Amino acid sequence: MLKRAVYALADSPTFTAWVSRYGMRWGFAQRFIAGEAIDDVWPSIQELRDEGMAVTLDYLGESVSDVDATRVATDTYCAIVEELGRCDNVASVSLKPTQLGLSIGTELAEQNIGRIVAAAKEAGNFVRIDMEDSPTTTATLDVFKALRAQYDNLGVVVQTYLHRTAADVRELNSIGAQLRLCKGAYKEPESVAYQAKEDVDRNYRELAELLLQEGHYPAFATHDDRGTQWDRP
Ligand SMILES: Cc1cc2nc3c(=O)[nH]c(=O)nc-3n(C[C@H](O)[C@H](O)[C@H](O)COP(=O)(O)OP(=O)(O)OC[C@H]3O[C@@H](n4cnc5c(N)ncnc54)[C@H](O)[C@@H]3O)c2cc1C
């Protein structure tokens, strides 16, 4: 019930505009958002690094339908990776394809993300393409594969709630892709995604095993500490 309410609010443009306007000012978004500009985020990066953690920055935004806005987001990401390059690459970046043109067209997203990956390569940084909802999965992987053929400083996320992901992981492993495994955060229909949490968790464990055996520097995005209780072969 709570999950359904949260999904409904997240789809509401009025609510999301209100949160981005007042959330930081009132403080409730600060647990999740390190800052509104690159200059604001250094203390959070430092704090996490002092605790021995690696850090990735996400410049928030998705479902952008205006070409100029995708270019502005691209310029911002390029400026962020250049700045990170000047600061010993203390963090990498993650990005959402629909913020960078995927809702408008694959070609535009490839152009914009390609500019960011090129700037990151120049700066010695790494770019992770987040995975969004299932209508964007194929296009996201197409953009990833096209850019991965040109750059090695690029990885992508796959979601274990999707039925297709086991096949995607095998194919992506075969081209040397660096994958980050997560369970998946969007509301998806039964036709494409497991609905029961136990199935999503089981698929997570199975694909984590596969990535540990055959993957290429795999990453695991989860708060699920039951990983320590997995049955080992
Ligand atoms: C680094 C990172 C990158 C991600 N990238 C993507 C992406 O590209 N695409 C995508 O669809 N999803 C992404 N996600 C979200 C992910 O798919 C899950 O929705 C989310 O992580 C919750 O699943 P879980 O694996 O943590 O485990 P769950 O089984 O949902 O939860 C396990 C335990 O962790 C707790 N928990 C869950 N969330 C949090 C939280 N935010 N803070 C503290 N405790 C929590 C739960 O209460 C529970 O006790 C990402 C998550 C992380 C951490």
Nearest CA among 129, 132, 173, 134 for reference residue 155: 129
Question: Cβ–Cβ contacts within 10 Å for residue 110, how many?
Answer: 21
Q: How many CB atoms lie within 10 A of CB 189?
A: 8
The Å distance, Cα 182 to ligand 1 centre, comes to: 7
User: pLDDT band at residue 203, thresholds of 50, 70 and 90?
Assistant: very high
How much is the average pLDDT of 177-198? 97
pLDDT at 36: 83
Sign of CA dihedral 201, 214, 121, 142: negative
- Cβ contacts of 29 within 8 Å, gap of 6 or more: 19, 23
Closest CA to 174 of 211, 206, 137, 204: 211
CATH number, domain 35-229, options 3.40.190.10, 3.20.20.220, 3.40.50.10540, 3.40.50.970 = 3.20.20.220
Structure tokens, 222: 């989860």
Is 130 assigned a catalytic role?
yes
Query: Measuring CA to CA, how many Å separate 91 from each of 49, 71, 162, 203?
Result: 9, 22, 29, 29
Q: What percent of the chain has pLDDT over 90?
A: 74
How far does residue 150's CA lie from ligand 1's centre (Å)? 31
pLDDT, residue 100, reads: 97
Would you state the structure tokens that stand for residue 93, as one six-digit string? 């970046």
Answer yes or no: are the C-beta atoms of 179 and 211 closer than 8 Å.
yes
Q: Which of 95, 179, 223 is the pocket-test mutation for ligand 1 (most atoms within 8 Å of CB)?
A: 223
88 catalytically annotated: no
Average pLDDT over every residue of 166-187: 98
- Between 34 and 124, whose confidence is greater? 124
Residue minimizing CA distance to atom 44 of ligand 1 = 223
Q: Whose CA is nearest to atom 19 of ligand 1?
A: 185
Q: What is the DSSP letter of 42?
A: H
CA-nearest residue, atom 45 of ligand 1: 223
Using DSSP's 3-state secondary structure scheme, residue 94 falls into strand
Domains of the chain, by residue range, sit at 1-33, 35-229
Among 128, 148, 168, 180, which one carries the catalytic annotation?
180
What is the C-alpha radius of gyration for the chain, rounded to an integer number of angstroms? 18
Distance CA 220, CA 183 (A): 10
pLDDT in tens, 111-165: 999 999 999 999 999 999 999 999 999 999 999 999 999 999 999 999 999 999 9
User: Which of 168, 203, 167 shows the shortest CA–CA distance to 183?
Assistant: 203
> At CA 69, angle to CA 67 and CA 72, rounded to 5?
115
- 96 Cα nearest atom in ligand 1: 8
Q: Is 152 helix (H, G, I), strand (E, B) or coil?
A: coil
Name the closest-CA residue to atom 10, ligand 1.
184
Model confidence pLDDT, tens digit, residues 68-89: 999 999 999 999 999 999 999 9
Which residues line the pocket of ligand 1, CB cutoff 6 A? 130-131, 157, 159, 182-186, 221-224
| Centre of ligand 1 from the C-alpha of residue 62, in Å | 18
Pair 172, 202: CB distance under 8 Å: no
Cβ proximity of 74 and 115 under 8 Å: yes
CA distance 221 to 169: 15
